[in-house]
Amino acid sequence: MFLKIAQEAEVNRQVILDVELNDADIEPYLNLSYKSVAAEAKIPGFRPGMAPRSVVERYFGKEHLIRRSFNQLIPEITDKVVNEQGLNLSATPRVEVLEILPVKIKLTVPLEPQVEIGDYSKIRIDQANVNVTASEVNERIEGFRTSLGSWEPVDDRNVRLKDMVTIDVIGYVDNEKLIDQKNVTLVADEGQGTPFKGFATNLVGISINSQKDFDIQVEDDLADDKIKGKLIKFSVTVHEIKEQNLPKVDDEFAKSAGDGYDSLSSMKKSIRQEIVQNKKDQSDKEYTDQVLDQFDQLLTIELPPLLIDYEIDNLVSQRNNMANQLNMSPDDYLKMSGKTQEEVDLETRSSAIQRLRHSYGLEKLASNLKIDVTPKEIDEKIREILEFQKQRGSTEQSYDDMISNDVYRSSVEQSIKTSKSLEKLVLIAKGESKPAIKSNKKPTRKSDQKPKKPTSKSIKKD
C-alpha cells in the first residue's frame, strides 16, 4: 500500500500536507460504510443487510460510500499522517477534502509554538496598599438599613425621590403607543431600576390620583432599536405613595441584620474585614495582570494562525453562552456592549493572542523552573473541577471517568503547572523569591520531526 504525503515548507509554525489515498487505504472504511448502508437500504430483490457489496456500490455509487466513511476515515488517516511525519501539534489539524475519487485531502497542521523568555528575574512591581475608610463601612451599613426598612403608605404629601409609588404609565413614540402598563410599582430613584434616565425625577411633585405628562429623550446606546435616540411622551397617573421607615443604627439593628452580629461594633468590624478582603482580592488580581503584562514583554513566540483561529472560536462560543444565559441573542448582546462588530472582532483576536502567549509562556516557565505536580494534586484538582461542574448543574462526567482518563489528567497537570509558575512569577515580582534562570538564547532549533522517521514526500506503508 502507498499513502502519498506531500509536505510543504513550514510557514508561521504551520505546515500543509497534501495526502492522496489509494483503494487499499480506503478499503477497510468502504467495507464498514457498505455494511452500514446495506443494513438500512431498501434495494429491490434484497432484504435489508443482504445485498452484496457490488450491488450496493452500483446502486448508490462508490462516492456515496466514501462520503459515508469520512467520519471515521478522516480522523484516523489524519492521526496516521501526523505520526508518519513526526509532527508535534499544538491543536487539531484542519482538513479539507479536495477530491473523492481518488480521495485527496489537505491538512493544515498547527505546530507547537517556539517560545523564548527573557530575564524574568528582573520583573519588579510595587503593589498598592489596601485601605478602607469609615464612609465605606457606613455605606455598607446603610445598605443593610435600607433592606430592613418598612414601607408605609402616605396620603398627605406629593411624591418625593426615594418613595415607592404605584402608577399607570403610557408612552408614545412618534405618535405610536409603545408603553401601556397599569399598577406598576417602583422606587422613585434614578439608581434603582427606573426605566429611563430622568423618569424618577419627573415623578417628583405628583399627588395621589393626579396625572402628569412629560417627555424623555432616550439615549442613543439603548439596545431597543424602536426607542433608542427617540423622544418618548409619557403620561403618568399616581395611585399610591409609600415612604420607607428606616431602623435606628444601634446594637439591636446589628443583631437583626441576620449575620450573627452581637453588637454594632462587631458588625462594623466584620464589614471592614470583608471590604478589606474584597479589595485585597481585587488588588491581587490587578497585580497579577500587571506581572503578566511585563512577562509578556519578555516573550518571543510565533503562534500558528490556525491556533489563533481556534482560540477566537473558543472566545466567541463563551460570549454566545453568556448571551444565552442572559436570554439574549448574540446580536442583542453585541448591541448592549455599544461596540461595532469590527471593534468586537479586533478585541476578540487581541484577547485570543494574549491568552495563547500567556499560556505558552507560563508553560515554558514551568519547564524552566522544573515545576512538578504530584498525582495527589491532580486528583484533588479533578475533584474540585467536578464539584464546580455539579454546582453548575452538569453531571455528564463521573470522578472515576475523569481520574482514569490519561489525556484529561495530562491536561489538568499542565494547568496546575501553569498556575504554579504564575504564582512563582508573582513572588519574583514582589522580590520574595529568587529564580534559577535557564538560558533561552536562541538554542539550536530542534526539528519538529521526530528522529528515525522517513522524510521523503512519498512514504511507503507496510
Q: Of all helices (H) and strands (E), which one includes residue 204?
A: none
Domain(s) of CATH 3.10.50.40: residues in the chain: 151-245
Q: How far apart are CA 218 and CA 273, in angstroms?
A: 41
List, in order, residues 6 or more apart from 200 with CB less than 8 Å away.
Answer: 161, 187, 188, 189, 190, 192, 194
**pLDDT score, position 48:** 85
Q: How far apart are CA 360 and CA 303, in angstroms?
A: 10
**pLDDT score, position 339:** 87
Q: How far apart are CA 232 and CA 217, in angstroms?
A: 6
N-terminal to C-terminal alpha carbon distance within the chain: 7
N residues, the chain: 462
* Reported pTM: 0.75
Q: How far apart are CA 166 and CA 417, in angstroms?
A: 58
Domain(s) of CATH 3.30.70.1050: residues in the chain: 2-113+452-460
Question: So what CATH class is 2-113+452-460?
Answer: alpha beta
Q: What angle do CA 433, 434, 437 make, to 5 degrees?
A: 135
Q: b/e string for 35-67 if b means 16 or more Cβ within 10 A? A: eebbeebebeeeeeeebeeebbbeebebeebbe
Q: Sign of dihedral through CA atoms 131, 135, 139, 142?
A: positive
Residues of the chain with pLDDT under 70: 1-2, 193, 221-224, 394-397, 434-462
Q: Is 406 helix (H, G, I), strand (E, B) or coil?
A: helix
Q: Is 3 helix (H, G, I), strand (E, B) or coil?
A: strand
Of 89, 70, 76, whose CA–CA distance to 14 is shortest? 89
Q: Of all helices (H) and strands (E), which one includes residue 237?
A: strand 231-245
Query: Residue 46: phi, psi to the nearest 5?
Result: -135, 140
- Domain 151-245 coded CATH 3.10.50.40: yes
Query: Residue 108: phi, psi to the nearest 5?
Result: -100, 115
Q: Sign of dihedral through CA atoms 126, 129, 130, 131?
A: negative
**pLDDT score, position 219:** 82
